[in-house]
């Protein structure tokens, strides 16, 4: 593996890190080291990395901002490619907003507002990248990526580029084609509507305030831990079960919003997984409801 690291380091323009602690790369601040972390600085660099890795048959995982990931304490064997700063172009052309997969959701929301385009207000404050948001079909306050996305340009693991229309991306609630196939999101085109800049800004400010007052953004976390079950809400279910504030090790069911688990004191992945299992068991017993995780648990268990 170290030999592979040397080859990558000598042949790529972007960053290549050896044994990078994943707790430094995720909003949960949890996770052991990944053998090799690559942060390509362009599509060319990404293709070059894929070419080298293909000849070596290394396991590869793609990440964006790491805001929906729970990484195991032993870390990740193989290679993680982070789609970030090298993929940060953003422009508007009439009612289209075109951006790289590494741009943050807050940045696209702000850019749309400046251009007087409405449709992306919901995305302000979601701490993910556009790539991760397409994968998860991120959404909030009635809005969802799939409602505004026109096309996505991707690379497959052979380095071939392709553009998919929205209807070919199998969007569902926190689901997309990217969870079914190994595709790397490079770029997204959003189709928005003309709107009033002041009204768009007001909506964004309201949603930001709602987030600040209802979500534990002052703590390390990965957003909602579970998907919303049909006709129900996770937070109230957990609260009713008496688990709000319950703690295992350094992980706690948020006292502000029971749908979040927060890392209050150097939590391990094991702490969070134990808490997840306890919540699932309790809610199944008390309510007969199966809670399915929304966060992606990755790495060597
Ligand atoms: C405080 C807080 C609030 C949140 N609020 C919301 C919310 O309101 N609504 C919501 O939906 N989510 C929310 N989230 C969760 C998270 O921000 C979203 O799921 C976001 O879309 C994840 O994007 P990311 O770039 O961080 O992806 P990551 O966490 O890095 O990765 C998530 C998944 O996407 C894949 N992936 C990432 N980038 C790419 C790419 N370029 N190509 C292919 N695969 C890729 C990864 O392999 C992984 O499977 C919140 C999180 C936090 C911490």
Q: Is the pLDDT of residue 219 over 90?
A: yes
Please say if 174 is a catalytic residue.
yes
pLDDT at 42: 96
pLDDT at 56: 86
Three-state DSSP class for residue 217: coil
pLDDT at 232: 95
Mean model confidence pLDDT for the chain: 97
- Tell me, in angstroms, the distance from the centre of ligand 1 to residue 104's CA: 10
Query: Is the pTM above the cut of 0.95?
Result: yes
Residue whose CB lies within 8 A of the most ligand 1 atoms, among 128, 164, 272, for a mutation test: 128
Count of all residues that appear for the chain in the document: 301
Could you tell me the CA-to-CA distances from 255 to 64, 241, 295 in Å, in that order? 28, 14, 19
Nearest to 187 by CA among 131, 139, 124, 144: 131
- Give residue-wise pLDDT tens across range 11-36: 999 999 999 999 999 999 999 999 99
pLDDT at 158: 86
**Which residues make beta-bridge pairs with 184?**
155
Q: How confident is the model at residue 157 (pLDDT cuts 50, 70, 90)?
A: confident
What is the distance between the alpha carbons of residues 37 and 49, in angstroms, rounded to a whole number? 11
- Tell me, in angstroms, the distance from the centre of ligand 1 to residue 181's CA: 17
Q: Is the pLDDT of residue 140 over 90?
A: yes
Ligand 1: lining residues by beta carbon, under 6 Å: 27, 61-69, 83, 101, 126-129, 131-133, 135-136, 138-140, 178, 184-185, 215, 217, 221-223, 296
- Tell me, in angstroms, the distance from the centre of ligand 1 to residue 223's CA: 9
Please say if 212 is a catalytic residue.
no
Q: Is the pLDDT of residue 301 over 90?
A: no
Q: How confident is the model at residue 6 (pLDDT cuts 50, 70, 90)?
A: very high
Please say if 294 is a catalytic residue.
yes
- Give residue-wise pLDDT tens across range 123-134: 999 999 999 999
pLDDT at 55: 86
Q: Are strands 60-63 and 33-39 parallel, antiparallel or unpaired?
A: unpaired
Average pLDDT over residues 95-118: 98
What is the distance between the alpha carbons of residues 67 and 27, in angstroms, rounded to a whole number? 5
Please tell me which residue in 144, 146, 174, 254 is annotated as part of the active site: 174
Q: Is the pLDDT of residue 116 over 90?
A: yes
- Give residue-wise pLDDT tens across range 165-213: 999 999 999 999 999 999 999 999 999 999 999 999 999 999 999 999 9
Would you list the DSSP string of 24-79?
GTSTT----EEEEEEE-SSHHHHHHHHHHHHHHT--EEEESS-SSEEE-TT-EEEE
- Give residue-wise pLDDT tens across range 47-77: 999 999 998 888 999 999 999 999 999 999 9
**Which residues make beta-bridge pairs with 162?**
154
pLDDT at 29: 98
pLDDT at 58: 84
The domains of the chain, with CATH numbers, are 2-82 (3.30.43.10), 88-214 (3.30.465.10), 234-298 (3.90.78.10)
- Tell me, in angstroms, the distance from the centre of ligand 1 to residue 206's CA: 22
């Amino acid at each position: 593996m170290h030999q592979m690291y040397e080859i990558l380091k000598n042949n790529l323009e972007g960053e290549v890190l050896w044994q990078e602690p994943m707790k430094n790369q995720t909003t949960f601040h949890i996770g052991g080291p990944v053998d090799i972390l690559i942060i390509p600085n362009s599509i060319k660099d990404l293709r070059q990395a894929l070419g080298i890795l293909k000849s070596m048959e290394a396991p590869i995982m793609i990440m964006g901002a790491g805001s929906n990931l729970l990484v195991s304490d032993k870390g990740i064997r193989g290679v993680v490619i982070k789609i970030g700063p090298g993929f940060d172009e953003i422009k508007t052309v009439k009612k289209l907003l075109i951006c790289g997969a590494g741009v943050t959701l807050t940045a696209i929301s702000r850019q749309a507002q400046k251009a007087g385009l409405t449709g992306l207000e919901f995305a302000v404050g979601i701490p993910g990248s556009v790539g991760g948001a397409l994968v998860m079909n991120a959404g909030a306050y009635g809005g969802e990526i799939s409602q505004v996305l026109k096309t996505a340009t991707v690379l497959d693991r052979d380095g071939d580029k392709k553009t998919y229309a929205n209807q070919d991306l199998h969007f569902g609630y926190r689901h997309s084609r990217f969870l079914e196939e190994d595709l790397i999101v490079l770029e997204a085109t959003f189709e928005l509507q003309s709107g009033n800049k002041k009204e768009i800004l007001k909506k964004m400010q309201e949603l930001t305030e709602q987030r600040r007052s209802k979500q534990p953004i002052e703590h390390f976390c990965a957003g909602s831990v579970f998907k919303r079950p049909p006709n129900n809400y996770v937070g109230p279910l957990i609260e009713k079960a008496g688990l709000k504030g319950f703690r295992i090790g350094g992980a706690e069911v948020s006292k502000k919003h029971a749908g979040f688990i927060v890392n209050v004191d150097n939590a391990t992945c094991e702490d969070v997984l134990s808490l997840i299992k306890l919540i699932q068991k309790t809610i199944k017993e008390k309510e007969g409801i199966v809670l399915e995780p929304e966060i992606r648990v990755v790495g060597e268990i």
